[in-house]
Structure 1
Amino acid sequence: MERVVGVGGWFVRASDPEALRAWYRDVLGMELDEYGSWTTEHGPTVFAVFEADSDYLGPRTQQSMMNLRVRDLDAMLAQLRAAGADVDDEVQDMDGVGRFGWVTDPEGTRIELWQPA
């Protein structure tokens, strides 16, 4: 049986694609090539399904949420705040899993940041 072996991409709509690409590059430090290809460190990827009425993903109009691994959550959140990003005040710790924080990109998409344990 064939099976999926990893996440191949995440695609979003934007009213200003160039500006949003620049935000992900300049604020989150995602090095994207001209096609949006991004090489990351190895590690597990989570595919989680939530109830339709869950608020975890952000506004109900947002059908998905990207989770990005970070080395130092506190440093990343401080960097995001310094850049004027919309950063959630809440940080969650999950024993054996890691720490989580959230930021909303300029187009209103909620993104989860994860510092693995």
Structure 2
Amino acid sequence: MERVLGIGGYFMRAADPAALAAWYRDFLGLDADENGLWLQEAGPTVFAPFESGTEYFGSRAQQTMLNFRVRDLDAMLAQLRAKGADVAEETQDMAGVGRFGWVTDPEGNRIELWQSG
């Protein structure tokens, strides 16, 4: 059986695509080229369907949630707060998995940040 090799892209609608791309670059350091190509560091990826009534994604209108791996969650959250981003106050620790925090982009998409380990 043929298998997928990994996630090849993540696409989202935006009222202002250029401004949203700039936010991801300036706030999260996501350095994609003019075609959106981003060479990320190798590491684990979680693919997990959630119950349709989950509150985990924030808004019930949000059907998916992007999760980024980060090296230092506390430093990333502090950096985002210093830039004025909408950062959730709480973080979550999962034994054997790592720590999680959340930020919401200017278009209202809740993003999870994961420090593994």
Q: For 1:59-85, what per-residue CA distance to the aligned partner results, in whole angstroms no more than 9, with x for missing partners? A: 111000000000000000000000100
- Structure 2 residue runs of 5 or longer lacking an equivalent are none
Q: Which amino acid aligns with 1:18?
A: A
1:92 aligns with 2:79: no
TM-score normalised by L of structure 1: 0.98
State the match for 2:5 in structure 1. 5
Alignment-derived partner of residue 49 in structure 1: 49
> Cα RMSD over matched residues?
0.6
Q: Secondary structure at the match of 2:80?
A: helix
Identity, in percent, stands at 70
* Structure 1 gap segments, 5+ residues each: none
Residues 23-102 of structure 1: pairs in structure 2 closer than 5 A: 23-102=23-102
Displacement of 1:96: 1.1
With the length of structure 2 as denominator, give the TM-score of the two structures: 0.98
Runs of 4+ in 1 over 6 A off after TM superposition: none
Between the two proteins, the alignment pairs up a number of residues equal to: 117
- Partner Cα distance (1:18, 1:105) in 2: 13
Alpha-carbon distance in structure 2 between the residues aligned to 1:58 and 1:111: 9
Deviation digits for residues 36-89 of structure 1 (CA, Å, limit 9, x no counterpart): 111111111100111111010111110000000000000000000001000000
